[in-house]
């Protein structure tokens, strides 16, 4: 059984079809990237998969059960880390939010927070406030808070889009490491073709303005490049170049 299934998921907002009926499955431990131009429905699909948006048609199933709304089994990482963190709480306090919401016993919380902070290499910054951290570190705090939930699925909405190129590459590598070490299942939205190929086991390309002849999903492509990956080696790999060309074509640029 797939961990996450979209069965004919369609979204209509304001009388406009944002996402035509779409079906796909995400296996446990799989890293699936969703790409496409602005306005194609990437974020809407992700929010529907998380139970934050109700489908107009079809359904979302998680472990065979229909998703009716948000769940602690799904953690959501937003692009705007500055709004996702509480500025009056320390790094430790922000991560603690997940444990408070899950009503984890008080005596267990400190140790669990330290464990996830160590996982994202922030243990030395536990008592700092968000404004004392760089953008990349703030985003790592948000990821740490999500990991503290011990979620079944980690959903990420362009989490590195607002960061500079070097910080983005470092966090991509850190996320890839976490996925391998913890067996995470990830649904990851991005507009960056290279990021999608570098991180994903599979890439789903969406198009804008779906029609019956041209539905929302333009392509679903496996990425047969072995892990672990490194930026220099992968981006010079013939398969990487072929996939980038193919996805570029599917998105209407070819």
User: Where is pLDDT greater, at 208 or 67?
Assistant: 67
Is residue 253 scored above 70 in pLDDT?
A: no
Is residue 68 scored above 50 in pLDDT?
A: yes
Tokens for 100, please give them: 């408070």
Residue 210 to residue 199: CA distance in whole angstroms:
26
Question: What is residue 54's predicted lDDT score, i.e. its pLDDT?
Answer: 92
Question: What is residue 254's predicted lDDT score, i.e. its pLDDT?
Answer: 42
Question: What is residue 50's predicted lDDT score, i.e. its pLDDT?
Answer: 94
Is residue 124 scored above 60 in pLDDT?
A: yes
CA 97, chain centre distance (Å)? 20
Residue 9 Ramachandran class (φ > 0 left, ψ -120 to 50 alpha, else beta):
beta
Average pLDDT, the chain: 91
**What is the bridge-based pairing of β-strands 186-189 and 31-35?**
parallel
Read off the pLDDT of residues 179-212 as tens digits, 9 standing for 90 and up: 998 899 999 999 999 999 999 999 999 988 877 7
Residue 137 to residue 108: CA distance in whole angstroms:
25
């Amino acid at each position: 059984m797939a961990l996450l299934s979209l069965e004919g998921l369609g979204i209509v907002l304001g009388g406009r079809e944002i996402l035509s009926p779409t079906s796909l499955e995400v296996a446990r431990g799989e890293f699936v990237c969703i790409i496409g131009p602005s306005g194609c429905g990437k974020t809407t699909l992700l929010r529907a998969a998380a139970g934050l948006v109700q489908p107009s048609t079809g359904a979302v199933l998680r472990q065979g059960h229909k998703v009716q709304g948000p769940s602690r089994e799904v953690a959501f990482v937003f692009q705007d880390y500055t709004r996702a963190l509480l500025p009056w709480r320390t790094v430790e306090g922000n991560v603690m939010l997940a444990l408070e919401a899950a009503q984890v016993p008080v005596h267990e919380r400190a140790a669990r927070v330290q464990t996830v902070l160590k996982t994202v290499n922030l243990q030395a910054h536990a008592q700092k406030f968000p404004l004392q951290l760089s953008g990349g570190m703030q985003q790592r705090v948000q990821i740490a808070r999500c990991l503290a939930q011990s979620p079944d699925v980690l959903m990420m909405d362009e989490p590195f889009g607002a960061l500079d190129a070097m910080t983005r590459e470092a966090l991509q590598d850190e996320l890839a490491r976490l996925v391998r070490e913890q067996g995470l299942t990830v649904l990851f939205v991005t507009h960056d073709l290279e990021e999608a190929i570098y991180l994903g086991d599979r890439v789903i390309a969406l198009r804008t303005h779906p029609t019956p002849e041209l539905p929302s999903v333009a392509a679903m492509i496996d990425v047969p490049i072995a892990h672990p990956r490194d930026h220099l080696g992968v981006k010079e790999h013939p398969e990487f170049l072929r996939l980038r060309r193919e996805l570029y074509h599917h998105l209407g640029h070819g």
